[in-house]
Every structure is written in C-alpha cells, then in structure tokens.
Amino acid sequence: MADTKREIELKYEATADTELPDLTRVTDVASVADRGVAELDAVYHDTRGLRLASDALTLRRRTGGDDAGWHLKFPVSTGIRDEIRAPLAPTLPRPLAALIRSRVRGEEVVPVMRLLSTRAVHHLLAADGTLLAEVSVDTVRAENLLADGRADWRELEVELADGADPALLAAVGKRLRKAGVRPSASPSKLARALTETGLRPTRPAPGGDPAPGTAGAHVLDYLRAQRDALVALDPAVRRDLPDSVHQMRVATRRMRSAFKTYRRVLDRTATDPVGGELRWLAAELGAARDHEVLLDRLRTRVDALPRTLLLGPVRGRLRIWNAARGSGSRRRALSTLDGPRYLALLEALDALLQAPPLLPAAARPPEKALAAAVRRNHDRLAARVGRALELPPGHERDLAAHDARKAAKRARYAGEAATAALGKPAKRFARAMKEVQTVLGDHQDAVVAREALRALAVQAHLAGESAFTWGLLYGQEEAAAAAREAELPAVWARASEPGLREALGS
C-alpha cells in the first residue's frame, strides 16, 4: 500500500563552516531541538535514458532514518512535491510502478545514482511543543551507478511540518539568508548529482520539423503540449485526483481536434489512425468521468428538494445506483491505463510527433493556414446549430443539439490552438465558441440526467418504492433543457458576428 505526503521544502547551500543561526528569532519558533544524526542510503532508479529525471520525477529506495522505503516524488510547484511512499521491499512495488508507467513505457527501470547522506536533524518547535519544521544539514556523497563519477557537497533543507503555516518557510529562509546561507541552485539532490556526475537525459530530438514561426511549427507545439499533458495526467488518474480524468480526456480531444482541424498541415493518412485510438481512450475514460458528473448533478437535485418531496428511500436508491455503476467505471479506466493498447497509443504519438507527416501548408505563415482552418470549423458549427434550431423540441432536436455541441467544442479547440499564432482574435473566437459549447453542454447534461432519472424511477417502481420524486426531478431536467434551448439563439447570434471571423485575418 502506498501513502502520499505533500512535501514543502526549501534547499540551501552549505559548507563545512556553515552554522545554523538562532532560529528562535523567527516568529512562532519557541525552541530548536537537536534530534541527532542519521545515516541515509538512497538508491535512485530510472531508465537508462533518464525518462523520469527529464520530467523532474524522482524514484528512490532509501534505508536509514525514520522513513525508510520506496519514495516517488512528483513536482507540484516550486519547492512543493507530492511524495508517494511504499514499504521497503527488494524490488519496485507495483503501485509505484503503475504511477511511472506512462513515462517509462516498456523500458527497464534500473539503479542510476546512489546518495549517501549524513544528516544532522533539528526540529523547530512551537511553544506547546508542536513541530513546525525540520531543518537538516546534509553531507552528501553521490555515486553514479551508470558510469564512473562522484560528487560531494553539503546542503541545508528546511521542510515544513504537516499543517504548519507555509509563511514559516519564508521567515526561516530570510533568517538564513541574513546569516549568509544561499539558496540552492538545484531543485533536488538527484538533479544536483546528475549534473555534477555528468549524466544527462537522452531523448531523440524531433526530426524534420518546419521552420520556427510557420503554421506547422505552431501546430506541432500545440500537439506536443497536449501529448505531454496526457502523459503527466496518467498518474493523477491512477491516484484518483480531482478532475484528473476530465483533464486527461480534454487532452485527447484537443489532439483529435487538431488532427482534424489542421488536416492541411499534417497528413490525415498518418494522423487518422492515432486519432481513432485517442477517441477509444477518451471513451474508456469517459465512463468514469461521465458517471462522476451525472452523480454530482443528481445529488445536487436531491439535496435541493424539501424533505416533504422525498418520498421513499431516495438517497438509498441513489447510493445503490452509484455503487452499481461507479466502481465499474473506475475499474474500467484503470484497466485501460494498464493495457498494452494504451501504451501502444503513447508510442504512436511519440513516433508521430518525432517525425511529423507534414504537408506543404506546414511551411506557410500561420496567419493564413491557421485562420482558414479556424473559419472552416466555424462554418461547420453554423450548419449544425442551424439544423438544431430548425427542428421542433424532441428527440431529434436533442440529437442535433448534441452534434452541435461537439462541433462547438472542436471550434473552440481550433481557436485555442491558433491563439499563440493569431493572438487576441483567436482568443476571443475561442471564448465565444466556449459560450456556445457551455449552453449546448448544459442541455446535453439535462438530456442524460433525464435518461438516468427514468431508469431510477423504473428501479424504484419495481422495488415497490414510490417513483414520485424521480418523476419530479425528471420534470426539473426537462425544464432545464428547455431553458438552454431558449438561450441558444442569442448565444449563437453573438458567436456568429461577422467581425469575430474577420478579425482572424484573410
């Protein structure tokens, strides 16, 4: 079993002459307790090409101290990392192996660096004895395990205790700097060890890229950013972090949209198969995300009702429905990420972006190629919105509105992808398309909720329970869908103003 700890720390340079200043002069620090010296032995693991290190991840097996075991660290922001811990074992525990899978793929993970540290530990304590922070002075020896190379240094770490005020770190840092202690230039011990022993990540450089500033260069930059987001979100989905499934699906959709939108820049005979696999991945992940959104919507509806309108075991019936659907969708998502088809997709994306299938338009200025592609998406959306508005309320109109929603999303992503090249006009265009997407998305959510509420009503009826509440909620969703339909003409009028398209350029 793996545990997660949020690590908030600052690192400083130290020498043999470095002494801690009086840290009781820092606000809230009542005393400094000497906790003795610990001998730490940490072996860092990575692929031979240092795939983890190139993404600022660290994986180590450490003995000594009070937290011996396997530690995997993910960067959150400067000075903040999430540390996932697993018990000490001879080989990499499976939960941690799963979290690095999207980075290492099928490559072997081997020992690459050994750090031997002698750590002098000091605890900063509040007046009531509460631990505020730990200050460690480390004497480090790094041994390169892939090639000859050693390095020695001393450093000082200040790590915030769980629940302590982050402002304390800044106050301690100010006191250290006044005493002449300089912040470290390296974000981690491993980063410093790699630099000082001559190890560098070895990833092949892209081949055949178009000249900077061209339409092709902008499209590739956008696609590579989405690919990187997809890879980075994999462990977040496995850890069940909030919104991670949604963001991972967004990355797949943005890539698929870019493949279609910029089909005159990248050859579709090469991108279509990859786009098809991205569609498969989004669908597999979608079961978990769609259920999560729907459950939240239904719970909100139920919670808003007066108790007098909750007839029968409404919340109990909703829990049963959730248990039957929710756990299965989560298992499906994890099974997908553990499967060979998903890894093959990641490899295919890498291969595509390593040697992109460029068409002649890739060499054109972005003001022409990208603007034309964005306008084509707008034309497509206009046709679909027009059809939805022509149909009378009912099932066919619901389907047409759903198609229009998908077109609005694609148009929005097209504008976002072109923003770096086209600037504010593309940004305004994307914002207008998002407004259309939001109205149509809310409409589709109401349609899906109605279907679920009808199923819940049938289940309640067959179990001998009252179906009154489910029917009442069905009516609310029907009214919500009608309200979104009524909003659409005005929203579309704003999104179809000629000036919005003309500002993109000719």
**Residues pairing with 117 in the sheet:** 40, 140
Structure confidence at residue 390 (pLDDT)? 94
**Mean pLDDT (whole number) for 387-412:** 94
**Mean pLDDT (whole number) for 101-111:** 94
pLDDT band at 39, cuts 50/70/90? very high
Q: Which residue has the tokens 């595509």?
A: 352
All residues at 6 or more sequence positions from 19 whose CB lies less than 8 Å from its CB, including other chains: 179
pLDDT band at 326, cuts 50/70/90? low
* Least confident span in 198-212, 390-404, 467-481: 198-212
Which candidate, 358, 297, 284, 268, places its Cα nearest to that of 328?
284
Structure confidence at residue 327 (pLDDT)? 62
Secondary structure letter of residue 183 according to DSSP: B
Residue 393 predicted with pLDDT over 70: yes
| Annotation: CATH topology of 3-196 | Hypothetical Protein Pfu-838710-001 (2.40.320)
| pTM given for the model | 0.86
pLDDT in tens, 163-181: 999 999 999 999 999 999 9
DSSP 296-359: HHHHHHHHHS-GGG--SSHHHHHHHHHHHHHHHHHHHHHHHHHSHHHHHHHHHHHHHHHS--B-
Residue 95 predicted with pLDDT over 70: yes
DSSP 95-124: HHHHHTHHHHTTPPPEEEEEEEEEEEEEEE
pLDDT in tens, 56-65: 999 999 999 8
Q: Taking the C-alpha atoms of 252, 446, 317 and 240 in order, what is their torsion angle to the nearest 10 degrees?
A: 20
Q: Which two tokens stand for residue 265?
A: 């820049």
pLDDT band at 203, cuts 50/70/90? confident
Q: Which two tokens stand for residue 493?
A: 């009028």
pLDDT in tens, 434-471: 999 999 999 999 999 999 999 999 999 999 999 999 99
Residue 154 predicted with pLDDT over 80: yes
pLDDT in tens, 51-92: 999 999 999 999 998 889 999 999 998 889 999 999 999 999
Q: Which listed CATH number (1.40.20.10, 3.50.7.10, 2.102.10.10, 1.10.150.20) goes with 213-362?
A: 1.40.20.10
Which candidate, 154, 160, 159, 122, places its Cα nearest to that of 138?
154
Residue 379 predicted with pLDDT over 60: yes
Residue 506 predicted with pLDDT over 70: no
% of residues, the chain, pLDDT over 70: 99
Structure confidence at residue 42 (pLDDT)? 97
pLDDT in tens, 213-262: 999 999 999 999 999 999 999 999 999 898 898 899 999 999 999 999 99
Structure confidence at residue 290 (pLDDT)? 84
Quick one: which H or E segment has residue 150? strand 150-160
User: At 39, is the secondary structure helix, strand, or coil?
Assistant: strand
- Give 19 or 61, the one with higher predicted confidence: 61
pLDDT, mean over the chain: 92
Structure confidence at residue 18 (pLDDT)? 87
pLDDT in tens, 118-147: 999 999 999 999 999 999 999 999 999 998
Radius of gyration of the chain (CA): 28
User: At 144, is the secondary structure helix, strand, or coil?
Assistant: strand
- How far, in Å, CA of 422 to CA of 244, rounded? 29
Residue 337 predicted with pLDDT over 60: yes
Give the start-to-end residue ranges of the domains of the chain.
3-196, 213-362, 365-506
pLDDT in tens, 461-503: 999 999 999 999 999 999 999 999 999 999 999 999 989 888 8
